A and B are shown apart, each in its own frame.
Chain A
């Protein structure tokens, strides 16, 4: 039973384009939705996170869009650069019995020149 579903599994985007990765969750008790970035041979690192009281959060070229009613959230990378090539994971957690930080299956993003 996968509580956080992520798509696509892989994505190829041209340099300067917009990369979009989508996630959907099932547990309405989730109240924290982070995105992690992982480079080969490294552990994941927090990229950006959102809570359900806002519908969008932007940090530089990275934006999270959040749709509480649809139980979906997405990561948008504007002006994608070769250095953005990595694996991206969405995740979710809650409180009061839902503290597990649960991850999606990951998206391998490749930015081509």
Chain B
């Protein structure tokens, strides 16, 4: 049982480049989330989804886009990477709101 899988695990981008982070879950969860973790700032919600085909903005959505075309996948896109987007990104999923959220292992992204 893989749980929540994030790819890639590490990435270095140049300013202005684009990339997509993939999150896949095999638990048939409805809710999926993308967070970024920065020192002293905790986990800040970027975007989330309450079901296939739906997305919503979190606390820090600017510079990111997301898509949930399939229930098991939640994609996070950076169209034009900036050094301020250097962070560790975590994906999480939960069956419904108010239940345990399971996290992936994280993606460490550096923008130079």
A residues at B contact (CB < 8 Å):
6, 9, 31-32, 34, 41-46, 49, 51, 89, 93-95, 99-106
Interface size in chain B (residues, C-beta < 8 A):
28
Chain B residues closer than 8 Å to A99, beta-carbon distance: 31, 48, 50, 97
With A32-B98, A42-B105, A101-B101 already in contact, the answer to whether A6 and B50 are too (CB < 8 A) is: no
Does B77 touch A at the CB level, under 8 Å?
no
Shortest distance between the CB of A58 and any CB in chain B (Å): 18
Is B41 a contact of A101 with CB atoms below 8 Å? no
Does B103 touch A at the CB level, under 8 Å?
yes
The contact of B43 among A41, A42, A95, A103, by CB within 8 Å, is A103
Shortest distance between the CB of A4 and any CB in chain B (Å): 9
Is A103 a contact of B42 with CB atoms below 8 Å? yes
Is B50 a contact of A49 with CB atoms below 8 Å? no
The contact of A95 among B35, B42, B98, B101, by CB within 8 Å, is B98
In the bound complex, how far is the Cα of B89 from the Cα of A46, in angstroms?
18
Chain B residues closer than 8 Å to A100, beta-carbon distance: 45, 48, 56, 58-59
In the bound complex, how far is the Cα of B104 from the Cα of A94, in angstroms?
23
Chain B residues closer than 8 Å to A31, beta-carbon distance: 98
Interface class of chain A by DSSP: loop
With A43-B103, A106-B42 already in contact, the answer to whether A94 and B90 are too (CB < 8 A) is: no
In the bound complex, how far is the Cα of B90 from the Cα of A25, in angstroms?
23
The contact of A102 among B45, B92, B94, by CB within 8 Å, is B45
In the bound complex, how far is the Cα of B49 from the Cα of A66, in angstroms?
28
Is A105 a contact of B97 with CB atoms below 8 Å? no
Chain A residues closer than 8 Å to B56, beta-carbon distance: 100
Shortest distance between the CB of B17 and any CB in chain A (Å): 25
In the bound complex, how far is the Cα of B42 from the Cα of A73, in angstroms?
18
In the bound complex, how far is the Cα of B90 from the Cα of A41, in angstroms?
11
With A100-B58, A101-B94 already in contact, the answer to whether A89 and B100 are too (CB < 8 A) is: no
